Structures are given as C-alpha cells and as structure tokens.
C-alpha cells in the first residue's frame, strides 16, 4: 500500500502550442511560409467578396414584396420566388386543381423517404410502389372521382421534372443492366446489337436524342398516330441514361472473377440463375458509386427538355423572368433553383454513400 | 475391338433435343432478335417514306448546296447569308471545335489546380476546393449557362459604362473586350520559332535519354527547353526592334472599336462548361494523386531522387494512368455539353443545324448530321486519348 501521496504536485496544462485553437490554426493554416502566404491571400480575397455578397443577399434585400418595391433597392430581390412560387412549381396546371400535383409530389416524396430504410424493403413495399404510382398518375391526369382531366401538355414545373427524372432513373437502370449483359454475351448478334447501341448513344449529346424525339419521331409513326411529347422526351431520357448505366455495369461484370461463374456452373445453375443469384448482386454492388453518378447526371439532364419547349421547373422559371414585372432578377431566381437542385443531388449522393456502407460485406 | 457402344448408352438419343441444346438455342435466340430489329426498322422506314411522300418533303442531302439565307453571329471563317447551307454547317462545326478546344484546355488546368488544392495541407484552401467541387457538380450545367448568360445581360452595364478592372480590359453586356498587340511581322516568326523549339525538344529529349542510358549522365532537357521556348521568341522580338504597339479597344459611339471582342454567348458557354466540368476533373485528379502509394514516394526519396524527379519519374506516370481514362470521358462530356449552346444562342453546330431544319424541314437529315458529326468528334477524341493512354501504360514494365 504505497500510494503516491503528493498533495503539492502540480498538473500542468498541455502547452498552448500543442493543443487548442491556436495550435490548430498554426498546424492547419500557417505550417509553412507558403501556406501562411496562401492563407493570407485567400482570407484577403474572401474579405473582398463575401461582405458585399452578404450585404446584397441579406441586408439590402427584400424577401416578399411587390416587384415595384424591388426597383428601389440595391440588394437582392428574393421576392421573385415567393411571389411567383405557384407558377414556378406548378406551371400551367389548371386553376383550382393545384392540390392534385402537390398531393402527388408529397406522396412520391413520402414513398421515397419510407423506402430509405433497408429493413422496410419487403413484399409490402413492392406492392406499395405500383399502387402509389397509379394513385399519383390518377391525381395528375384526373378523369375519375369528379376530377377534371388534365392533359399531359399541361403538366409542368416541378411535377414534370420529378416525373422525368424518376422514370428516367428507374426505367433506365434495368434496361442498362440488360444491355450490359448483352454486351458480355457470347452470342455475336446480341453482342453486336448491344455494342452498337451503347456506343452510338454515348457518342452523341442528349440534345440530339431529344431533337430526334421531338422533330424526327413523328415522321416514324403511321399517319394519324401520335405519341405525346412528354412521353417521347421521357423515352429519349431513358434510352440515353441506359447506355451510360450499361457501361458502368459492364465495369462491375468485368471485375467478377472466373471462379464465380465456374462455381455457379458446378452448382448446376443456368444462365438466368447464375446472373440473378451470383453475379449481379456482387457486380451491381461494387459499382454503386459510379451508378449514382450516372443517375445524378440523369436527374440534372432532365433540365435539357427546356430546349424542346417542355415546361419543366427551369422553363417555368425562365417564363417568370420574361414577365415585365420581374425581368432583371435572373440571378435571384436561378440561385433559388440551383439551391433546389443542389439539395436533391446532395441528398441522393449522401444516401448512396450510406447504402454503400450498409451493403458492404467485405472484411 | 469394336466401336459399338454399350447397349444402354446406344439406346439413348445421341443428341439432346434441340430445345435443350445450348448452341441451337443461342442461334434461335439471335435469329429472333435480328428479325425483331429488322422488322421494327422496316416498319419505321416504310412509315417514314409514306409520311415524307405525303408531306412532300424531299429526301437526301441535295439541299446543302442551296443558299442558307440566315446570318450567323460569330464565325471563324468568312460567311454571309448568301453562302450555302454546307458552309453554314462548317461555320457551326468550327464554332463547336473552338469552344470545345478552349474549354477542354481550361477545364484541365482549372480542374488540376482545384484537385491539388483539395489535397492541400492548408485547411482553408482544401475546404474551399471541396465546397467548389460539391456545389458545382450538383447544379445542372444548363442552369449554370443561363446564370452566366443572365449575368452578362443583366448585371453588366452597356458599353458606355463598361467595367474596366484594369487597362485594356472591358466588361459590358456586349461581351468581354480586351487589347491585343497590333499585328506585326515579328509575331508570325515568333510563333514559328516557338513551334520549332517544341519540335526540337522532342529530339533533344530522345538524345538525352539515349545518352543517359549509355553514360548515366543526366541532361536538363526540361530547363533547356523552357529557356529556349521563352528566349528564342524574345530574341526574335528584340531583333525586329521590339514592337510594342497595342490594339487597344476604345469606345466609339455605342460600341467598342479595336481589340478583340468575345461575345457574351461564347463567354457564358465557356464559363458554364469549364466551371461545371472542372469540378469533376478535380475529383479525378485528386483520386489519381491519392492512388500513388506513400511507399512509392518514400522509395523515390530513398534512391536519392530530387523533388522534381520524384514528381516527374515516379508520381506522375502512375497517377496519370489512373487519371487518363476518366479524364477522357470528361473531355467528351464537355464536347457533348457544348451542344447546349443552342439554349443561349451561340452558333454551334447543333444551333446552326436546328435553324436549317426549321427552314428546310429536313429533320431526318439534320438530326443524322448532328449525330454523325458528334460521333466523329467523340471517336477521334477517344482514339487520340486511347493512343496517349497506351503510351503512358508502357511506363509500367
């Protein structure tokens, strides 16, 4: 029992140069002479840019005023967003029926958020999706339960963007997987068809496919038959995205070792079984990051339908800016839209990172 | 010895029935697939023929010789509305090449800078680079184009009140106007001399490599080349009497005269494309540099290589191998996204073709031309990059 008993011992704090905020600053900002110089220059540049921006965006700005009030101020006129929010979000959806697309969007968001947890990926969910989509479609189109019919050319704004991107991603994925399998196939005809399709689509810009759907496709159909414009654009987006997905999935398939195929063969599995049970689950998992990159591109690229005069959320914003009361506030309106896109993309990419971690079964 | 099989095997059918024979099934499957494709193509083709006849639209590319009768805002070659469609398309294609070439060059420079900044030990720089990457990647490029275009048209003053951040540079809603040295005979000679030095450096480096292999003596090829590339044109400039006359833009009436004007459409397109794509390039560069293991650098230090040599001989060859394939696809992305020019009114190939389609109604030929031209651009870019990639790969033994 000889405990050290030294009441006069002093407990010194760690030296200030090693811990604490000062040490952090020295280590991360001023560790070498050129880093110090870089820090000072950057801070100088920030001091030059940030305060005027802050003043413009927050201090001298108006948030919900008439357009006339905006003419008298120096700062940002954020009012353009709340004053026109109905048109920016819903576009030309008929007066008095706005609750329908809003409800449909809420339903879609709710389903997406509910499906986030992997523990909820059950048979019930597999039923909920088609039923939910049918309800959304009914809400949008109407024609039953006393809801007047709203033709698809009146679908615009955010619901159109959401629809184009949702189906663009969901339908392109399986098509892309099929194309990737086709490209890996031993059958020369199937392989050639897949390769030609993938390389052709990847070599041309999405615009050319959208042009094809909007001005060339009507010539392909027999007299009197028409397919509506939104659907044509949707098909173009799906076809385009599928080719990119196919290339990403091919990367995953090529990373599979021969042993996996041989093991499946020796178990007596046939081709569909081998793919479904052995190869695809592994191959698709390792290509999650690039796949998400492609899906995000597809989401952002739906904005290109502006060029073939579909009224997605970017086009409704542009139309708002053509209103003589609100011309000249493009910066504010586009920044709002940028924020909207940023939030969606950021949410998707952080979800994919989580999914990747959850599905990781390696050691 | 007889060839006869044992009776129980002989009684079995010698081959499985055809629906269980993988080879025959494959053939049947392919025949069906080809038939479906052929049938659909025939169906669409016959519909198209019927439609074209009914709407009496001519087919074929004969219209290319007709007079275009529309003006094009900017052009690298001489063009007027009286020229043919073919020439108009050439103007468009050259404009596409112009914006893509300049865009790709700037994209690689900016992307590399930001990628390196992302890895900086300086917290502030690294975080700024990270937020640039995260923000710019997640905003659609078309929105960015609209944004920059709106800045030019709404926020910049008319020429009379043009912003003048420093001498010889003006920013206004007519575009960016800057001064250039007045054309002088010396410039052409300087340009050729510069090119000659570059070509000479290739031979110099070959010779230096050979000499190092034989004698072990290193030769400072890079330093000599850099010195010559700056020094030789400078000497020529001095020999011509050091002409310093500048072609400075000056306000005359409602517009500028002199200098070089870059249109707002081109500037907005270039800005949008470069800023969007360089965010992706920065991530690629970062991943490439991080892929070179620490041990490699330590090994290079251990055998006594200087910092420059470490970078040149050890880090870069390995990092580039990781960087080049995804970089190629970003280059192609920029090229393909340059077709968004049509949305802000820059006369690229797609915009010119679209005007042509609207005038002539030759939609099929027009869209086919767009696809062919872009396929050609894409394939030639990827052929070049594949060649470069192979060359870099040889570094690995």
Residue A66 burial class via C-beta count within 10 angstroms: exposed 0-12, middle 13-18, buried 19 and up: exposed
* A77 close to A61: Cβ distance less than 8 angstroms: yes
pLDDT(B254) > 80? no
Left, alpha or beta for A198 (phi > 0: left; psi -120 to 50: alpha)?
Answer: alpha
* B122 close to A39: Cβ distance less than 8 angstroms: yes
Contacts of A31 in chain B (CB under 8 A): 121-122
Give alpha helix (H) positions in chain A.
20-29, 33-54, 67-71, 80-90, 99-114, 123-141, 158-184, 188-203, 206-211, 217-220, 229-254, 258-266, 271-273, 280-286, 288-301, 313-322, 330-359
Q: What is the DSSP letter of A92?
A: T
CB of A328 less than 8 A from some CB of B: yes
Residue A67 vs residues A92, A313, A325, A327: alpha-carbon distances, Å = 22, 21, 6, 10
- In DSSP terms, which residues pair with B172 in a beta bridge? B175
pLDDT(B3) > 70? no
CB of A301 less than 8 A from some CB of B: yes
pLDDT(A273) > 60? yes
Contacts of B44 in chain A (CB under 8 A): 220
List pLDDT tens digits, range A316-341: 888 888 888 888 888 888 999 999 99
Contacts of A216 in chain B (CB under 8 A): 363-364, 367
Neighbours of A345 (CB within 10 A): 22
**pLDDT computed for residue A263 by the predictor:** 92
Q: Does A189 contact B140 at a Cβ distance shorter than 8 Å?
A: no
Q: Distance from B367 to chain A by nearest Cα, in Å?
A: 6
Q: What percent of chain A has pLDDT over 90?
A: 14
**pLDDT computed for residue A4 by the predictor:** 57
Least-confidence region, from A29-33, A41-45, A234-238, B248-252: B248-252
ipTM confidence: 0.87
Q: Does B128 contact A42 at a Cβ distance shorter than 8 Å?
A: yes
The torsion of the CA quartet A37, A39, A40, A41, rounded to 10 degrees, works out to: 80
Tokens 């499957």 belong to which residue? Answer: B29
Residue of A nearest to B343 (CA): A307
* B129 close to B289: Cβ distance less than 8 angstroms: no
Q: Give the mean pLDDT of A282-297.
A: 87
Q: Distance from A362 to chain B by nearest Cα, in Å?
A: 20
- Pick among B53, B371, B380 to test the A interface (most A CBs inside 10 A): B371
List pLDDT tens digits, range A121-154: 778 878 888 888 888 887 887 777 777 777 777 7
DSSP character string of A13-56: PPPTTTSHHHHHHHHHHSSSHHHHHHHHHHHHHHHHHHHHHHII
CB of A21 less than 8 A from some CB of B: no
**pLDDT computed for residue B138 by the predictor:** 92
| Burial readout A25-35 (b: 16 or more C-beta within 10 A, e: otherwise) | eeebbeeeeeb
Beta-carbon contacts of A165 under 8 Å, excluding residues fewer than 6 positions away, are A298, A299, A302
Q: What percent of chain A has pLDDT over 70?
A: 97
- Pick among B52, B59, B122, B151 to test the A interface (most A CBs inside 10 A): B122
**pLDDT computed for residue A245 by the predictor:** 92
Q: Distance from A9 to chain B by nearest Cα, in Å?
A: 38
- Pick among A77, A197, A207, A315 to test the B interface (most B CBs inside 10 A): A207
* B274 close to B110: Cβ distance less than 8 angstroms: yes
Measured CA to CA, the distance from residue B123 to residue A42 in angstroms comes to 11
Residue B341 vs residues A319, B337, B373: alpha-carbon distances, Å = 19, 8, 16
> B113: pLDDT confidence band, cut at 50, 70 and 90?
very high
Q: Distance from B76 to chain A by nearest Cα, in Å?
A: 23
- Pick among B56, B153, B367, B374 to test the A interface (most A CBs inside 10 A): B367
List pLDDT tens digits, range B298-324: 999 999 888 778 888 888 888 888 888
Q: Does A207 contact B151 at a Cβ distance shorter than 8 Å?
A: no
Q: Does A219 contact B29 at a Cβ distance shorter than 8 Å?
A: no
Q: What is the DSSP letter of B254?
A: T
Q: Give the mean pLDDT of A354-360.
A: 82
**Could you tell me how far CA A186 lies from the centroid of its own chain?**
35
Angle formed at CA A173 by CA A168 and CA A175, multiple of 5 degrees:
100
CB of A188 less than 8 A from some CB of B: yes
DSSP character string of B337-378: HGGGHHHHT---HHHHHHHHHHHH--HHHHHHHHHHHHHHHH
Measured CA to CA, the distance from residue A179 to residue A245 in angstroms comes to 9
**pLDDT computed for residue B6 by the predictor:** 62
Q: Give the mean pLDDT of A251-265.
A: 88
CB of A346 less than 8 A from some CB of B: yes
Residue A261 burial class via C-beta count within 10 angstroms: exposed 0-12, middle 13-18, buried 19 and up: middle
Q: Distance from A39 to chain B by nearest Cα, in Å?
A: 7
List pLDDT tens digits, range B152-209: 888 787 777 777 777 777 888 778 888 777 777 778 888 888 899 989 988 988 888 8
**pLDDT computed for residue A3 by the predictor:** 56
CB pairs under 8 A between A and B: 156
Interface of A with B in 27-86 (CB under 8 A): 28-29, 31, 35, 38-39, 42-43
* B91 close to B352: Cβ distance less than 8 angstroms: yes
Give the one of A189, A222, A304 whose C-beta lies nearest to B33's C-beta: A189
**pLDDT computed for residue B273 by the predictor:** 95
Left, alpha or beta for B361 (phi > 0: left; psi -120 to 50: alpha)?
Answer: left
Contacts of B343 in chain A (CB under 8 A): 306-307
**pLDDT computed for residue B224 by the predictor:** 86
- In DSSP terms, which residues pair with A184 in a beta bridge? none
* A249 close to A284: Cβ distance less than 8 angstroms: yes
> A282: pLDDT confidence band, cut at 50, 70 and 90?
confident
Beta-carbon contacts of B100 under 8 Å, excluding residues fewer than 6 positions away, are B334, B335, B338, B377
pLDDT(A9) > 80? no
Q: Does A28 contact B122 at a Cβ distance shorter than 8 Å?
A: yes
Q: Does B154 contact A330 at a Cβ distance shorter than 8 Å?
A: yes
* B352 close to B89: Cβ distance less than 8 angstroms: yes
> B108: pLDDT confidence band, cut at 50, 70 and 90?
very high
Beta-carbon contacts of A28 under 8 Å, excluding residues fewer than 6 positions away, are B121, B122, B123, B124
Q: Distance from B235 to chain A by nearest Cα, in Å?
A: 34
Q: Does A334 contact B150 at a Cβ distance shorter than 8 Å?
A: yes
Q: Between A57 and B253, whose confidence is greater?
A: A57
Residue of B nearest to A340 (CA): B139
> B397: pLDDT confidence band, cut at 50, 70 and 90?
very low
* B132 close to B279: Cβ distance less than 8 angstroms: yes
> Domain coordinates of chain B in residue numbers?
85-154+263-393
Q: Distance from B248 to chain A by nearest Cα, in Å?
A: 29
Q: Does B124 contact A334 at a Cβ distance shorter than 8 Å?
A: no
**pLDDT computed for residue B101 by the predictor:** 92
Beta-carbon contacts of A158 under 8 Å, excluding residues fewer than 6 positions away, are A88, A89, A90, A101, A105, A313
Through-space distance between the first and last CA atoms of chain A, rounded to whole angstroms: 47
* A75 close to A60: Cβ distance less than 8 angstroms: yes
Q: Give the CATH number of domain B85-154+263-393; options: 1.10.1040.10, 1.10.3720.10, 1.10.760.10, 3.40.50.720.
A: 1.10.3720.10
**pLDDT computed for residue A243 by the predictor:** 92
Q: Per the structure block, which two tokens stand in for A214?
A: 């909007």
Q: What percent of chain B has pLDDT over 90?
A: 22
Tokens 């006869």 belong to which residue? Answer: B4
Residue A122 vs residues A125, A282, B139, B218, B362: alpha-carbon distances, Å = 5, 20, 34, 68, 52
> Mean pLDDT for chain A?
84
Measured CA to CA, the distance from residue A46 to residue A48 in angstroms comes to 5
Q: Per the structure block, which two tokens stand in for A287?
A: 């290509």
* B186 close to B240: Cβ distance less than 8 angstroms: yes
Q: Does B139 contact A296 at a Cβ distance shorter than 8 Å?
A: no
Contacts of A314 in chain B (CB under 8 A): 140, 142-143, 146
Q: Give the mean pLDDT of B228-237.
A: 86
């Amino acid at each position: 029992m000889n405990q050290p008993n030294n009441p006069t011992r002093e407990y010194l704090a760690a030296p200030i140069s090693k811990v604490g905020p000062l040490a952090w600053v020295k280590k991360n900002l001023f560790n070498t002479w050129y880093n110090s110089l870089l820090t000072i220059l950057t801070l100088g540049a920030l001091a030059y840019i940030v305060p005027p921006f802050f003043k413009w965006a927050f201090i001298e700005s108006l948030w919900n005023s008439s357009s006339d009030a905006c003419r008298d101020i120096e700062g940002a006129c954020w009012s353009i967003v709340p004053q026109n929010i109905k048109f920016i979000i819903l576009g030309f959806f008929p007066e008095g029926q706005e609750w329908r697309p809003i409800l449909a969007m809420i339903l879609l968001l709710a389903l997406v958020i509910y499906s986030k947890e992997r523990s909820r990926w059950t048979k019930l969910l597999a039923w909920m999706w088609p039923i939910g989509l049918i309800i959304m479609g009914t809400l949008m189109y109407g024609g039953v339960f006393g809801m007047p019919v709203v033709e698809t050319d009146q679908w615009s704004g955010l619901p159109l963007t959401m629809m184009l991107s949702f189906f663009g991603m969901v339908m392109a994925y399986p098509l892309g997987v099929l194309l990737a399998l086709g490209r890996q196939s031993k059958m020369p005809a199937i392989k050639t068809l897949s390769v030609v399709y993938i390389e052709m689509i990847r070599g041309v810009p999405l615009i050319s496919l959208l042009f094809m759907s909007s001005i060339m496709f009507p010539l392909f159909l027999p007299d009197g038959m028409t397919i509506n414009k939104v659907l044509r654009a949707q098909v173009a987006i799906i076809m385009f995205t599928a080719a990119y997905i196919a290339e990403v999935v091919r990367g995953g398939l090529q990373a599979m070792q021969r042993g996996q195929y041989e093991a499946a063969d020796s178990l007596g599995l046939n081709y569909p079984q081998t793919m479904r049970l052995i190869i695809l689950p592994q191959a698709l998992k390792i290509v999650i990051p690039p796949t998400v990159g492609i899906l995000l591109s597809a989401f952002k690229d739906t904005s290109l339908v502006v060029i073939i005069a579909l009224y997605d959320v970017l086009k409704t914003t542009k139309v708002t800016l053509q209103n003589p009361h609100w011309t000249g506030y493009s910066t504010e309106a586009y920044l709002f839209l940028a924020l909207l896109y940023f939030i969606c993309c950021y949410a998707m990419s952080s979800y994919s990172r989580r999914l990747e971690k959850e599905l990781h079964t390696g050691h | 010895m007889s060839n006869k099989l044992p009776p129980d095997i002989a009684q079995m059918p010698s081959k499985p029935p055809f629906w269980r024979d993988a080879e025959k099934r494959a053939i049947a499957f392919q025949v069906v697939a080809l038939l479906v494709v052929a049938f659909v193509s025939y169906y669409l083709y016959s519909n198209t023929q019927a439609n074209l006849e009914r709407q009496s639209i001519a087919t074929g590319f004969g219209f290319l010789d007709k007079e275009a009768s529309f003006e094009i805002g900017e052009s690298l070659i001489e063009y007027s509305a009286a020229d043919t469609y073919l020439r108009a398309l050439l103007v468009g294609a050259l404009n596409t090449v112009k914006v893509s070439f300049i865009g790709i060059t700037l994209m690689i420079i900016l992307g590399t800078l930001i990628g390196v900044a992302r890895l900086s030990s300086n917290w502030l720089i690294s975080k700024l680079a990270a937020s640039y990457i995260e923000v710019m990647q997640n905003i659609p490029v078309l929105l960015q184009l609209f944004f920059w275009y709106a800045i030019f048209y709404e926020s910049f003053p008319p020429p009379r009140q043009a912003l003048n951040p420093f001498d010889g540079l003006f920013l206004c809603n007519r575009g960016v106007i800057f001064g250039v040295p007045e054309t002088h005979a010396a410039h052409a000679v300087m340009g050729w001399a510069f090119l000659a030095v570059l070509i000479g450096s290739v031979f110099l480096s070959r010779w230096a490599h050979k000499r190092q292999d034989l004698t072990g003596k290193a030769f400072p090829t890079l330093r000599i080349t850099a010195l010559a590339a700056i020094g030789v044109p400078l000497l020529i400039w001095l020999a011509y009497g050091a002409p310093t006359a500048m072609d400075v833009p000056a306000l005359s009436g409602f517009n500028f005269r002199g200098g070089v004007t870059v249109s707002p459409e081109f500037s907005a397109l270039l800005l949008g494309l470069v800023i969007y794509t360089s965010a992706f390039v920065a991530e690629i560069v970062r991943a490439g540099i991080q892929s070179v293991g620490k041990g490699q650098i330590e090994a290079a230090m251990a055998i006594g290589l200087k910092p420059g040599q470490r970078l040149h001989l050890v880090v870069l060859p390995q990092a580039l191998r990781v960087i080049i394939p995804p970089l190629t696809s970003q280059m192609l992305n920029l090229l393909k996204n340059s077709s968004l020019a049509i949305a802000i009114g820059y006369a690229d190939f797609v915009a010119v073709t679209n005007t042509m389609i609207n005038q002539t109604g030759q939609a099929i030929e027009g869209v086919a031309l767009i696809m062919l031209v872009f396929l050609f651009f894409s394939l030639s870019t990827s052929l070049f990059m594949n060649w470069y990639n192979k060359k870099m790969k040889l570094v690995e033994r």
